[in-house]
Structure 1
Amino acid sequence: MKALLIWPIMPNSFWSYQETLDLAGLRATNPPLGLITVAAMLPSDWEIRLCDRNVSLETDADWQWCDLVIISAMIIQKQDFGELIQTGKKLGKKVAVGGPFPTSVPEFALAAGADYLILDEGECTIPMFLNALENREERGIFRATEKPDVTQTPIPRFDLLNLNAYYAITVQFSRGCPFQCEFCDIITLFGRKPRTKTPAQILAELEVLYQMGWHRYIFIVDDNFIGNKRNAKVFLKELIPWMKKRNYPFSFITEASLNLAEDDELLELMVEAGFVTVFMGIETPDIASLAGVNKEQNTRNSLIASCDKITKSGLQIMSGFILGFDGEKPGAGKRIQEFVEATSIPQAHLSLLQALPNTAMWTRLQKEGRLIDGLGKYFTSQKSLMNFVPTRPMSEIVNEFIETFWNLYEPLPYLKRTFHHFQKMQGWRPQYNRHYRTLTTAEWHFVIAICWRQGILRSTRFHFWWQLLIIGLSKPNLLYDYLITLGIGEHFFTLRQEVKAELEAELVVLKQQEQQNQENASLQLETVN
């Protein structure tokens, strides 16, 4: 079998870092870990080609070569995903699909023409799919009735990747999260009992990347790295000597819940192991809203104190924030902005609340008749309106969002937050292998571009240079990550303009629809009378 594995185009969004990637000579933020893991599960006698369309497009020769197309996608990739299925069918190819989007919304893939739906987790459903092929079955939907043991998951096919195209390479330690946040689909997809790989297993994956010459960021893409704290500590205690022996070749990024601040040992182990950044879903400083969506873990302690403790330990925080919770009071955007300034968090992932398919929130809103039909073009990105009727006027929430997102990514406040955030870091951090003598030509071009834009062209020039000097002198081991964070700001300075323009246009359409609905209602009333 000749299989073409395709990862669809990712629209420009918070996570795409497109402007920053362009400056760094890179093509994409992360590779498709799911697809290269699937590739490792396929028969060894298959011929496999991987196409990440965010790096380079597949060719006509690729389509002619393959017998089978396998496409994975997240919801945000919906448009390209659907078009790829249709292209495959027009060319007479068998098309198999999987990943979070078809697992959550299988009817979309079926309507587009997919032949095989390999849903849920591949360790369970790939064997079902292969068995169907062996039996010459023309179509099939394969679902799992249980969660797989990830200690049996093979090492992903990192060899299929063009490593030089990516900002960070992805690996996975665990699946699942113990919490029950109403709006989150992780527990729907992966369950509430976190399942972890063994330390030896994950170290073997890291060794492959090390031997391939990768010496930059690794994103451990667990939705909650500390979901199973005991196993996380066991892994970290074995990772630390492995990293020390190799002179800290990687810097780790991951996602974790805010209760990380409650565990001093875990914080110390993560920093000593080479973790530099952690994404945390803070959502809102409004405690009533947190309680309303079952995010109780964020209500036990002071949010600001928890963030400061994590930052002081040596970890940079990226944070998730949401506008549009039920019962939310006006000014929520301003309160989020004040919180971000108080904690000096550089990257604040601010979104309008979306009801994701099959979540507890989706089910509740469906029962209440508040869901809005259809998943829009930009669903799950900053450019999408809410897909349900909120408890206060949507136009009020969206305008508040536009203003807050714009203000958060004004260049000068962003530079100031980044500086203060790194200044807060007091904990020990390894002098990992990113000395200026080891920087690549592309990295030097990136640094020069940031100095030119923020240190000369913009009005930020005064703050840029004195802040850079202070960080360089007082915290030289943080200088590389500091410059990367400043560079990521370039993406947001551009993205906020796209977000503002798109949402304002959608608000105009929304207003027109509301007026049309009012006119139709008036006509119906007149007809009845």
Structure 2
Amino acid sequence: MKALLLYPHFPQSFWSYDRFMEIAGLKAVIPPLGIITVAALLPSDWEIRFCDRNVVHETDADWEWCDIVILSAMLVQKPDFQALIRKAVQLGKKVAVGGPYPTSVPQDALDAGAQFLVLDEGEMTVPQFLEALSQGETHGIFRSSEKPDVTQSPMPRFDLLQRDAYLMMAMQFSRGCPFNCEFCDIISLYGRKPRTKTPTQALAELQTLYDLGWRGSLFIVDDNFIGNQRNVKCFLRELIPWMQQHHYPFTFMTEASVNLAEDDELLQLMGEARFYAVFLGIETPDQDSLQVTRKLQNTRNPLVEACKKINEAGLLIYAGFILGFDGERTGAGDRIQAFVEQTSIPQPMLGLLQALPNTALWERLKKEQRLLENSNHLTGDQNTLMNFIPTRPVTELAREYVDGFWQMYDPERYLRRCLQQCLKIRCRQRRTQTMQFPWHKGLRLFAQLVWSQGIHRTDIRGQFWHQLWIILWNKPQALNVYLGLCAAGEHFWEYRALAKERITQQLGYDPLAHNADFRVMSWD
């Protein structure tokens, strides 16, 4: 069997870092870990070609060569995902699809023409799919309510990647999350019992990346890296000497729940293993909204103090925020802005709440008949109006969202937060943990940055040079990550205009215009 594995294109989004990628000479932030793991599950006698369409497009010769097309996608990749299915069907190819999007909304893939839906977790369903193929089946839907033992998961096919096109490499240590946030689809996809790989297994993946020549930052893509704290500590205790023996070839970033701040030992281990950043799902500083959405782990300790403690452990903070929870009070957007300024989180990801299929929120709103009939408009991006009837006027929410995004990514405010965040991070003199970047690409990035922010942009030119001097004088260990944050601003200053444009198109008017009509929007 000749299999063409394709990963669909990402539209411009918060995490796409388009302008940053352009000036750094890169194509994408991280590689698609899921589909290269599926590649490792395929028979050894299959011929495989892989294309991440965010890096390079497949050729006509690839389409002619293959017997089957295999796709994996998230919701935000919906347009290209469906277009690729239709093209494959038109060319008479077998089509098999999997990943979070078709697992949550399988009907979309069927409507586009996919013959094989390999859903849920591939370790369980890829063997079912292969058995059906061997029996001559021409279509099928393969599901499993049983969760696989990830200690038996194969080594991802890192060799298939065009590695120098990515900002970071990726690996997975665990799946699942022990918490019960109402809006989150992780627990419906992967369960509430975090399953982890063994330390030996994880180190083997790192060794493979090392042997392939990767040096630089690596994103551990777990939805909650610290979901199983005992096992993650075991991994970190073995990772630390491995890193020492290999002369610290990587630095790490991951996602974690805010209760990370409650565990001093875990913070220390992450620092010693050379973690430099963590993404936190803060969502909102409003305690009543956190109670409503069942994000109780964020209510146990003051969030500002938690952020301060994580910074003091040497970790840069990225964070997500959401507007639109039930019962939310007017001005939630302003309170999020104030929290971001107080904690100096440089890149807050602000979104309007979406009810994702199969979540507890989806089921509750469905019972309350508050889901919109056109709820299939979900795009997976952060700047889409709610797909349900909120308890606040949608125009008020849209205005707070656009204003919040516009204000937080004002160039002067953004650069000031970048400086303050880096100054807050406690750096160890002998062993700094910071974003690593190939020197030749780093030189190009710095040159572009000097031209754009230090020469061309008169509004921030003085601020750029003043802050650069402060970093060099006070915290030179944080220079790499500081310059990376500054360069990322080039993306966000473009993206905030796109976010405003998208919401304006959905509303039919500019939510920030002084003469806008802020009456309650009709959902009919």
Flag whether TM exceeds 0.5 (same fold): yes
Amino acid across the alignment from 2:40? A
Q: Which residue of 1 aligns with 2:357?
A: 357
What is the CA-CA distance between 1:466 and the residue it aligns to?
2.2
Deviations 1:198-231 (A, max 9, x none): 0110111011111111111100000000000000
**Retained in 1: the 8 A contact 2:116–2:141?**
yes
Counterparts of residues 194-213 of structure 1 (less than 5 Å):
194-213=194-213
* 2:217 is the counterpart of 1:224: no
Is the partner of 1:179 in helix, strand or coil? coil
Q: Which residue of 1 aligns with 2:368?
A: 368
Counterparts of residues 6-17 of structure 1 (less than 5 Å):
6-17=6-17
Amino acid across the alignment from 1:446? L
Is the partner of 1:413 in helix, strand or coil? helix
Q: Which residue of 2 aligns with 1:525?
A: none
Counterparts of residues 289-308 of structure 1 (less than 5 Å):
289-308=289-308
Q: Which residue of 2 aligns with 1:47?
A: 47
Counterparts of residues 12-411 of structure 1 (less than 5 Å):
12-375=12-375, 379-411=379-411
Give distance in 2, aligned partners of 1:277 and 1:516.
40
Amino acid across the alignment from 1:449? Q
- Of 377-386 and 84-93, deviating more is 377-386
Matched length: 517
Give distance in 1, aligned partners of 2:375 and 2:46.
36
**Retained in 1: the 8 A contact 2:393–2:521?**
no
**Retained in 2: the 8 A contact 1:176–1:187?**
yes
Is the partner of 2:145 in helix, strand or coil? coil
What is the CA-CA distance between 1:8 and the residue it aligns to?
0.5
Give distance in 1, aligned partners of 2:484 and 2:158.
24
Give distance in 2, aligned partners of 1:383 and 1:517.
19
Give distance in 2, aligned partners of 1:319 and 1:339.
11
Q: Which residue of 2 aligns with 1:444?
A: 443
What is the CA-CA distance between 1:406 and the residue it aligns to?
0.5
In 2 relative to 1, CA 435–138 (structure 1 residues): closer, same or farther, beyond 3 Å?
closer
Is the partner of 2:486 in helix, strand or coil? helix
Give distance in 2, aligned partners of 1:515 and 1:472.
51
Amino acid across the alignment from 1:455? G
**Retained in 1: the 8 A contact 2:252–2:274?**
yes
Give distance in 2, aligned partners of 1:244 and 1:494.
40
RMSD of aligned alpha carbons:
2.0
Gaps of 5+ in 1: 521-529
**Retained in 2: the 8 A contact 1:17–1:488?**
yes
Give distance in 1, aligned partners of 2:167 and 2:202.
20
What is the CA-CA distance between 1:36 and the residue it aligns to?
0.3
Amino acid across the alignment from 1:470? I
TM-score scaled to structure 1, two decimals? 0.95
Amino acid across the alignment from 1:242? W
Amino acid across the alignment from 2:364? R
Is the partner of 1:95 in helix, strand or coil? strand
Give distance in 2, aligned partners of 1:268 and 1:467.
29
Give distance in 2, aligned partners of 1:184 and 1:516.
26
**Retained in 1: the 8 A contact 2:72–2:97?**
yes
Amino acid across the alignment from 1:384? T
- Of 184-193 and 239-248, deviating more is 239-248
In 2 relative to 1, CA 430–131 (structure 1 residues): closer, same or farther, beyond 3 Å?
farther
Deviations 1:94-119 (A, max 9, x none): 00000000000001111111000000
Amino acid across the alignment from 1:251? T
Gaps of 5+ in 2: none
**Retained in 1: the 8 A contact 2:321–2:350?**
yes
**Retained in 1: the 8 A contact 2:218–2:253?**
yes
- Of 280-289 and 485-494, deviating more is 485-494
**Retained in 2: the 8 A contact 1:21–1:27?**
yes
In 2 relative to 1, CA 155–430 (structure 1 residues): closer, same or farther, beyond 3 Å?
farther
Matched residues, percent identical?
57
Deviations 1:208-259 (A, max 9, x none): 1111111111000000000000001000010011111122111101000000
Q: Which residue of 1 aligns with 2:452?
A: 453
Deviations 1:376-395 (A, max 9, x none): 66622123111111001101
Give distance in 2, aligned partners of 1:141 and 1:376.
21
TM-score scaled to structure 2, two decimals? 0.95
**Retained in 2: the 8 A contact 1:313–1:425?**
yes
What is the CA-CA distance between 1:313 and the residue it aligns to?
1.1
